[in-house]
Amino acid sequence: MRRALPLALSALLFAPAAGAGEHQLSGYVRGGGQLHLSAARTMGGIGGGVGVRDVWQDRFLFQVDASYLVMLGNVLALRAGAGVQRRGLYSPAVLLVGSALLGDQLTFLLPERASPARGPALSIGLAMAPLRFAVPGAQVSVLELGVLVGLDSPDLALGFSVGLLEIAASF
């Protein structure tokens, strides 16, 4: 995860130099939720955010976004992803996503764990957007489902993400 975010950011920054007709940069707003569950902590919530996406050759996606989540406290969700989409009006997508949740959390002290889990909740996984549509200059996604796996040493963590609505406009 620590290398995925800088890699995605550099892809977004240097991609337009490769050819103006091949890349389509867009900004997007999204609403949904994310949850991180382990034996050590629970973190996440529902909310909204903003992001930047580069679509290369109308097929490959590179994106980064930040969301503010509430319900289990105040959480900042940072995501970076890369994936593929179908060309045309109906354009479902599949992405490999790295995520970091920072902020409030519910921590659990167990007999084998004397101190609470600290720091960001890092995870990686797959996200699918089966109801996604694109026209020149805009994209709309009505549903995105994701499953993530993280490590809260020594325990594994399971994460879920749901995007309910995402609207993007090219610039």
Per-residue pLDDT tens digits for 60-107:
999 999 999 999 889 999 999 999 999 999 999 999 999 999 999 998
With b for 16 or more beta-carbon neighbours within 10 A and e for fewer, the 11-46 pattern comes to bbeebeeeeeeebbebebebebbbbbbbebbbbbbb
Q: What percent of the chain has pLDDT over 90?
A: 72
Provide φ and ψ at 47, rounded to 5°. Answer: 170, -155
Query: So what's the pLDDT on residue 113?
Result: 72
Query: So what's the pLDDT on residue 21?
Result: 59
Query: So what's the pLDDT on residue 109?
Result: 77
Task: Give residue limits of the domains in the chain.
Answer: 4-11+23-170
Q: Is the pLDDT of residue 146 over 60?
A: yes
Provide CATH code, domain 4-11+23-170.
2.40.160.20
3-state class of 137 per DSSP? Answer: coil
Beta strand ranges found along 13-40 (DSSP E): 23-37
Query: So what's the pLDDT on residue 13?
Result: 45
Q: What percent of the chain has pLDDT over 70?
A: 88
What radius of gyration do the chain's Cα atoms show?
Answer: 17
Give the integer Cα–Cα distance in Å for 80 and 94.
Answer: 13
pTM value is 0.84
Provide φ and ψ at 152, rounded to 5°. Answer: -110, 85
